[in-house]
Structure 1
Amino acid sequence: MFPTDFNFTNTVQSTASKTAGQNKVGRSPRFNYKTKRFEFVDGKNVENTQILAIEQWIELFIRTEVDKFAIYSSEFGVNLNKLIGYRLPRSFIVSEIKRRITEGILNKVPCIVSVDNWRFDKGTFYFTVTTNTGEEVRLNYDY
């Protein structure tokens, strides 16, 4: 069924070693969180740029509750439900949101160098991520 003169193992290893050194996110179809649909033009998926792919990944990471969906590993997502709505000091809630999101982003996305410039304002938080190419992306989320 498969050709006998082609070594698939070496091909997979060589592709992985090439992409590992570049610290790129990879191909990512664009998803619109407002309409909850993938975007298509002329029947083809619209692909994200690297910056848009990072933004989309971070949004998915923050929206996904840990261990809620079997498709994601237990290391993917953030549990903010147990923080918000309880009578905990605001300073504790803010520091935990910062810590959980920052650790998750820095550990999972190889092309992110820093997560900083946090601001919390009336149910919305803002932060900036910096890529290894020096590009900064400002993100905001409601909680």
Structure 2
Amino acid sequence: MFPEDVEIYLVNEENQTLNEALTFNGRAYLFDYKKGDFVTRNGKLVEVRGKKAVEAWLEKLIRTEKFRFRIYEEDGDYVEYAVSIEGLIGGIWPKGFAESEIKREITEAAAGNPYIEELTEWSFERNDDYLYIRFTVFTVEGAFEMVVNM
């Protein structure tokens, strides 16, 4: 779509850097991963705050594979917003190793969110072609269970 020699940067009115733009600000927009599109109401994106925003942010983080998309690259370096778990899901790795690495990747990536205090009570369930990753998220506003199917 764009010529390869054109670089696109994510900026706003204050001309912030990509790392600053990806910093969680307590708000997020709902995204329907089954439909592959943002959730809208009356033609506007549905914005969520609090625990729902943390949940939306975490799911996007988990579904964003590190080093795949150049939008998450700044000055030749990739920003710390993504995980490397694709090769661990359904791969050749032993189950215990893969689950431990998935947990580590998500925990380390989520540590950049000031609203998240802890991720605990991890479980993994394989069903047909999917891996269900389940854990409890403790935030500054309370806890909730997170389930992501990959």
Q: Give runs of aligned pairs for residues 55-66 of structure 1, distance below 5 A.
A: 55-66=55-66
Confirm whether residue 140 of structure 1 aligns to residue 134 of structure 2: no
Moved more, 119-128 or 42-51: 42-51
Residues of 2 paired with 1:29 and 1:120: CA distance? 27
Residues of 1 paired with 2:102 and 2:119: CA distance? 12
Local SS of the residue matching 2:105: helix
Local SS of the residue matching 1:82: helix
Structure number with higher strand proportion = 2
Confirm whether residue 131 of structure 1 aligns to residue 125 of structure 2: no
Question: Unmatched 5+ residue regions in structure 2?
Answer: 1-13, 15-23
Q: State the partner residue of 1:110.
A: 114
Compute the TM-score of the two structures, normalised by the length of structure 1: 0.73
Change in Cα spacing, 1:71 to 1:119, as seen in structure 2 (3 Å) is same
Cα offset, 1:42, TM superposition: 2.4
Cα offset, 1:52, TM superposition: 1.4
Q: State the partner residue of 1:83.
A: 88
Q: Give yes or no for contact 2:26–2:49 (8 Å, CA) kept in 1.
A: no
The CA RMSD over aligned residues, in Å, is 1.9
Compute the TM-score of the two structures, normalised by the length of structure 2: 0.70
Greater Rg, structure 1 or structure 2? Answer: 1
Structure number with higher helix proportion = 1
Change in Cα spacing, 1:38 to 1:82, as seen in structure 2 (3 Å) is closer
Question: Unmatched 5+ residue regions in structure 1?
Answer: 1-11, 13-23
Q: Counterpart of 1:60 in structure 2: which amino acid? A: K
Change in Cα spacing, 1:100 to 1:44, as seen in structure 2 (3 Å) is same
Runs of 4+ in 1 over 4 A off after TM superposition: none
How many residues are treated as equivalent by the alignment?
119
Q: Counterpart of 1:140 in structure 2: which amino acid? A: V
Q: State the structure with bigger RCO (CA 8 A, min sep 6), 1 or 2.
A: 2
Change in Cα spacing, 1:125 to 1:42, as seen in structure 2 (3 Å) is closer
